Amino acid sequence: MNNELYRRIIPKILISKSVSVGKTNAITTRFYQHFRIMGTPTSQARIFQANIADELMVLNVDRLERDFVNFLDIVSKVNDVIFMPLSVGGGIKTFDEAARLFEIGVEKVVLDSVFTSNLGEVEKIAGRFGSQSVIGSCTYWSNESTANLNDSKRFLKSMDVPKRIKQMEESGIGEVIINDASKDGSRLGSNLRMLKEVVSTTSLPVIDSCGFGKTSHFIDSFHQGASAVAVGSYFAYVDQSILQLRNQLSNYGIRVRIK
């Protein structure tokens, strides 16, 4: 990567209303299933702000009981406590939803399932708001031996990923995020093989996501060409803040923002 930009660490705040009735919590997931409640969205946002994260990503993991109005409210409250770019995703399917998110100050929308259901909407969003405001998300399940567990059929197979990447590029997105759901929450490392393949086939910046558990995992990702890493469980369970992590990465020669 020779574009002079700093490599980015993007914490993910996964939110769900369905886990506890009436309240929207920040949760962690394992293999894209609810795992544990780990806090409240605004509190976690404040903590990431104090730790000088590069960007913040808020994802709505509720699928059946999606409450967009509530989601909009939470996103707005989160945005109020941060002064950094906010990317938001999780079942966004229409131009209208994207527009309402941009209106409250969201910097980028993360689109995933809409690529299979309604490609035209993506083109509309990217056309109106600009490519740089759309992150195309590709979620796949690479572990063939567990492919029947956890409703993993709803994810792409590894071999379908290149085609999806191409499709996303053509629709006008500005960035790609790849998620190996079979590594989600495992803390055993992300899918470096897929990362390498995707980085070599697209000229768009690639965000590596799912599976980080140790400092060396991040180093591997950046060495394979990831422009950013999106991190969920790691900051929820490991005693290493973003500031501490960036220090360590910088010691290994990775260009990150050091204050």
| Residue of 2, 117, 145, 148 interacting with other proteins (CB under 8 A) | 2
Contact letters for other proteins, residues 12-51 (x by CB under 8 A) = --------x----xx---------xxxxx--xx-xx-xxx
- Determine the Cα–Cα distance for residues 39 and 25; give it in Å rounded to an integer: 6
DSSP 143-205: -GGGTTSTTGGGSEEGGGHHHHHHHHHHTT-SEEEEEETTTTTT-S---HHHHHHHHHH-SS-
Is residue 131 close enough to count as binding other proteins by CB under 8 A? yes
Helices 161-170 and 192-201, axial angle in degrees (round to 10): 40
Query: What's the CA dihedral at 162, 88, 119, 30 to 10 degrees?
Result: 50
135 contacts 115 by C-beta, under 8 angstroms: no
Q: How far apart are CB 78 and other proteins at their closest, in Å?
A: 12
| Residue of 3, 117, 145, 148 interacting with other proteins (CB under 8 A) | 3
Q: Judged by CB, which is closer to other proteins: 159, or 259?
A: 259
- Determine the Cα–Cα distance for residues 224 and 212; give it in Å rounded to an integer: 14
Q: Judged by CB, which is closer to other proteins: 59, or 126?
A: 126
| Residue of 18, 34, 52, 124 interacting with other proteins (CB under 8 A) | 52
Q: Report the candidate in 20, 81, 89, 21 with the shortest Cα–Cα distance to residue 51.
A: 81
Which residues on adjacent β-strands are paired with residue 39?
26
Residues 211-230 that bind other proteins (CB under 8 A): 214-216, 219, 227-228
Q: Judged by CB, which is closer to other proteins: 99, or 119?
A: 99
Q: If residue 98 lies in a helix (H) or strand (E), which one and from where to where?
A: helix 95-103
Tokens of 23: 């309240």
Residues 56-85 that bind other proteins (CB under 8 A): 79-80, 83-85
Q: Judged by CB, which is closer to other proteins: 68, or 129?
A: 129
- Residues lying near other proteins in the complex (CB under 8 A) are found at 2-6, 8, 20, 25-26, 36-40, 43-44, 46-47, 49-52, 54, 79-80, 83-85, 102-105, 107, 128-133, 174-175, 203, 205, 214-216, 219, 227-228, 235-241, 243-244, 247-248, 250-253, 257-259
